[in-house]
Structure 1
Amino acid sequence: MFIDVVPHGRSASAVLLRESFREGRKVHKRTIANLSQMPPELIDGLRALLAGGTVVGGPDQALEIRRSLPHGHVAAVLRMMRKLEIPRLLGRTVSRERDLALALIASRVISPGSKLSTLRGLNLETATSSLGQVLGLGAIEEREIYAALDWLGAQQGRIERQFAKRHLRESTLVLYDVSSSYLEGRCCELARHGYGRDHRPDRLQIVYGLLCDREGRPIAVEVFEGNTADPGTIAAQVEKLKRRFHLNHVVLVGDRGMITTARIREAIKPAGLDWISCLRAVQIQDLAEGPLQMSLFDERDIAAITSPDYPGERLIACRNAALAGERRRKREALLTATERELTRIVAATTRKRAPLRGEAEIGLAVGAVKDGQAFRSHHHHGSLQLPAQRSRYRPRGGARWDLRHPD
């Protein structure tokens, strides 16, 4: 870089900070900044620094970098948020709460952390990026962060309706699943002991359900009490799709533990919705004794069947060859291990010193082998009698069930 003085006839010359670059054999100049309004002594000092020398007049006139805040990731995230119209979704009117909400969302993307660490990263004195400065937040108090979250919570219904208007339409797939998070403390009114995915049964938790479009884009989220079972959240989602989003016909997608036969009968069918779900192992075993014959998969891995047990529904059975091979391998390994252990018991009954005698002792030894192999079977997700996997899909005008059979 260098300082270039460009004369303007009778007007004052322009003082420009420039850099040179080469294109092929030609050298060009690129202007970085206009320094014309700077005091002459600062321009001279900058010229001396760029030349690698010292500043005339003493070190107190030299340029000194006191602090530098990372900015590139902030610019990228804010640009994408504006491209997605996130500020407009949060609120059409510019307000302190909206700017703080934008900062909280951007911070969650840039550097997730607690409320306190986010506050420190936004305040000018302790900033970890240029985010607070770019959004013009100034000094932020802790209470403002919580007030912004309360404001954002009040906007949730309107924001979710806007997302649904963007991404959902009639006769489309809607994906739904639930999860849970455990909590520290006892102040959350929804916190309960329940089935925890975090493997912390000693902690209270909340359950939350996420509704997405067919591409996996989040549309709506809802928090439930921590002891709410998965099927117990379905009715709220049906109500949301019908009443709030004004959708008359969509296909709700969920797993077998959520979209149960009872929920289909009580909530989904009366609302006129279709569904994708799964059959349980017992139901597939019943079908295997009737219309579901393994000869259907001699040439193809997928077949359509019907059953009087599921009137008005179309059943799709799919054989997963890769899963069948893996389960066959595990089954053979378990059988080999069991045979090896039983052979040792047989040898123990015929040894000369302290042979294994009596039905009780032999039965205990065989039972220990059986229990040990059953534990390994469960631990490795295999068994000597493998149940079938399955899923269900019901398109408009009829139902479709997808069954996956391992063998």
Structure 2
Amino acid sequence: MYVRATTRKNKDGSTVRYLQLAHNEWDAATRTSRPQVLHSFGREDQLDRAAIERLVASLAKLLDPAAALRATSGSDLTFLASRPMGGAHALNGLWHRIGIDTVMKKLLTGRRLDPAAERVLFALVANRALAPSSKLAATRWIEHDSHIPGLPATSDDACYRAMDWLLKIEDKLAEEVYWQVADLLNLEVDLLFFDTTSTYFETGEPDTPAARDDHGRRLDQHLDQETESDESADDGDGKSFRAYGKSKDHRPDLPQVVIGMAVTRTGIPIRVWSWPGNTGDQALIRQVREDLREWKLTRVVWVADRGFASEQNRRFLQRAGGHYILGEKIRSGSPAAQAALSRQGRYAHVADNMQVKQVQLPDTADRFVICHNPDQAKRDAAIRADLLAQLEEAIKGSDKLKPLKRAELRGKLSTKPGLHRFLRATPGGLLRIDKAAIKAEERLDGKFLLRCSDPHLSAEDIATGYKQLLEVERGWRDMKTIIDLRPVYHRKEDRIRAHVLLCWLALLLIRIAETTCDDTWLNLREELERIHVGTFSGPAGTFRQRTETSAAQRAILAKLGVTEPKRIITLEPGTPA
């Protein structure tokens, strides 16, 4: 069918056009096509355009929106842009499944804040997981390079206001999110892993010191929440947030902050903390224990590295029936470590080529487990042989040096702990390899020592539980590579803390996706980001349509419990001529 136009010429010389709805029928006798008029619309200048629009709208209902728009646009349809949407769609589905949106909207009730703050925070979390960047660059990414459901665009000011609000609801949000995740994944918190790291800032000076409470937070609560200004001055003694400290990134020359993370045995991060950069490890776990005690978890066995094994920390972790598995410094020379290592006994073989031996000392209720890995023992021996070769080359011919030069060489070697461990000086000042130190080290090859307060865990459970502390280390690695915890583009303390929270939420979504799909986030992200949304425009309006999903993409979304995105994302009819 088509619209047919006929022309009639009046006596005064003017012409009038008439419009008709017609279609062609084939005449078999004459073997020609003859037009048949189905309906006459009348004169073109007196056309009832409203009736035509109603007819077109009625016919358009028989088509999908994109086809209807293409049909009315003719050949003037223009392809404007394409952007990935699959990753953000999957993360948004998990965000809703966990109920983070519900928790945030509930916490928004009664606050004078834009209701879109929840969408802004999700967009910033998605940015960390998909294309980490500064907050200013994230606003451009949201508007031009990704499709965030419910948020076509935002501003850097809106991002900063949302981050300030995120910090205010941190405690309540973390608790609510944990219970939502526990219900979603059926988490049974028996082993809880904790570790810390540090992240530095490319700046030469620490912050101005400020008075702080026991949790490292500023006592001055009247901070400017609206601008990214420098830290306000605070007279008197206190601690800087960005401060010099023991750097785990090997950058003691730069100010840093300390970050702690608690993780379940399956690698799900349940909370993060931020402290001033010169805070010691032994003080951190006390705050963590107090914060999580309010969650009323049924049974918790804390698993932490040897930096947290002080007597005060051990007593603190045992409050309210808690227990711990802690690494013991095997080379510390402590009486407990020496006594445990000197006990005779046979090793029992457990999983992953590990051997364990349990030791009970008479003067403590703690149980000690000596773990031995033969493969690691071979690696330790090979590393030591390499170090000894380097040391022997370094001190070769040193007997002929003058005493002052020999002292300079010894001082230089003292800056290299791996070599200095096996170096000794004779009473006459000559440099020699310490054979007693080598023999002592050989006894420790492939071994590590654990201390546990739980009387019911087996030696195998203690050893394998401690090995799972690697989940936290994997979390730190992903935080610093995939999510780009560093560089941090903020100077203000509250914004740095909020940035860490955004990274935690991104890691939480990533870990849930990996656990559910049994695949790495890099693979999942690569596949999902192949789902694009295209923007098309024509005389009748603009619409956005996604690409067809592949079998692999549908499988990922099905495992995550996320529905496929709508085929037509948006439809914006234009103004008729």
Pairwise same-fold verdict (TM > 0.5): yes
Residue 192 (structure 1) aligned to one of 243, 251, 254: 243
Segments of 5+ residues of structure 1 without an aligned counterpart are: 18-30, 46-61, 350-355
- Residue 181 of structure 1 is matched in structure 2 by 199
Residue 369 (structure 2) aligned to one of 316, 341, 349: 316
Counterpart-to-counterpart distance in 2, 1:320 and 1:204? 38
Q: 1:181 corresponds to which letter in structure 2?
A: T
Counterpart-to-counterpart distance in 1, 2:174 and 2:282? 22
Does the Cα contact within 8 Å between 1:179 and 1:209 map onto a contact in 2?
yes
- Residue 103 of structure 1 is matched in structure 2 by 123
Does the Cα contact within 8 Å between 2:388 and 2:419 map onto a contact in 1?
no
Q: 2:318 corresponds to which letter in structure 1?
A: K
Q: 1:159 corresponds to which letter in structure 2?
A: L
C-alpha deviation, 1:234, in angstroms: 1.4
Which string of whole-angstrom CA distances, capped at 9 and with x for unpartnered residues, describes residues 42-62 of structure 1? 34x3xxxxxxxxxxxxxxxx3
Which string of whole-angstrom CA distances, capped at 9 and with x for unpartnered residues, describes residues 117-174 of structure 1? 0112223xxx12222xx31444x33221111111222221121112332439886111
Counterpart-to-counterpart distance in 2, 1:136 and 1:381? 61
SS of residue in 2 equivalent to 1:202 = coil
Q: In angstroms, what is the RMSD of aligned CA positions? A: 4.3
Q: 1:272 corresponds to which letter in structure 2?
A: G
Counterpart-to-counterpart distance in 2, 1:381 and 1:105? 49
C-alpha deviation, 1:335, in angstroms: 5.3
Q: 1:121 corresponds to which letter in structure 2?
A: W
Counterpart-to-counterpart distance in 1, 2:84 and 2:199? 32
Structure 1 residue 135 and structure 2 residue 150: aligned?
yes
Residue 389 (structure 1) aligned to one of 448, 453, 474: 448
Q: Which segment is superposed worse, 367-376 or 70-79?
A: 367-376
Between 1 and 2, higher relative CO (CA 8 Å, sep ≥ 6) is seen in 2
C-alpha deviation, 1:239, in angstroms: 0.8
Structure 1 residue 276 and structure 2 residue 276: aligned?
no
C-alpha deviation, 1:292, in angstroms: 3.9
C-alpha deviation, 1:377, in angstroms: 3.5
- Residue 234 of structure 1 is matched in structure 2 by 285
SS of residue in 2 equivalent to 1:278 = strand
Give the structure-1-normalised TM-score: 0.69
Q: What pairs up with 1:116-155 in 2 under 5 angstroms?
A: 116-123=136-143, 127-131=144-148, 134-138=149-153, 140-155=154-169
Counterpart-to-counterpart distance in 1, 2:268 and 2:386? 42
Q: 2:83 corresponds to which letter in structure 1?
A: L
Does the Cα contact within 8 Å between 2:263 and 2:269 map onto a contact in 1?
yes
Counterpart-to-counterpart distance in 1, 2:346 and 2:303? 26
Q: What pairs up with 1:368-407 in 2 under 5 angstroms?
A: 375=416, 377-378=418-419, 384=438, 385-386=440-441, 387=444, 389-395=448-454
SS of residue in 2 equivalent to 1:67 = strand
Q: 1:296 corresponds to which letter in structure 2?
A: G
- Residue 49 of structure 1 is matched in structure 2 by none
Does the Cα contact within 8 Å between 1:341 and 1:369 map onto a contact in 2?
no
SS of residue in 2 equivalent to 1:81 = helix
Residue 112 (structure 1) aligned to one of 132, 148, 166: 132
Counterpart-to-counterpart distance in 1, 2:274 and 2:416? 36
- Residue 57 of structure 1 is matched in structure 2 by none
Count of matched residue positions in the alignment of Structure 1 and Structure 2 = 345
Q: 2:376 corresponds to which letter in structure 1?
A: L
Which string of whole-angstrom CA distances, capped at 9 and with x for unpartnered residues, describes residues 300-329 of structure 1? 5222221124x2222222222112222233
Identity level (%): 22
Q: What pairs up with 1:217-256 in 2 under 5 angstroms?
A: 217-242=268-293, 244-247=294-297, 249-256=299-306
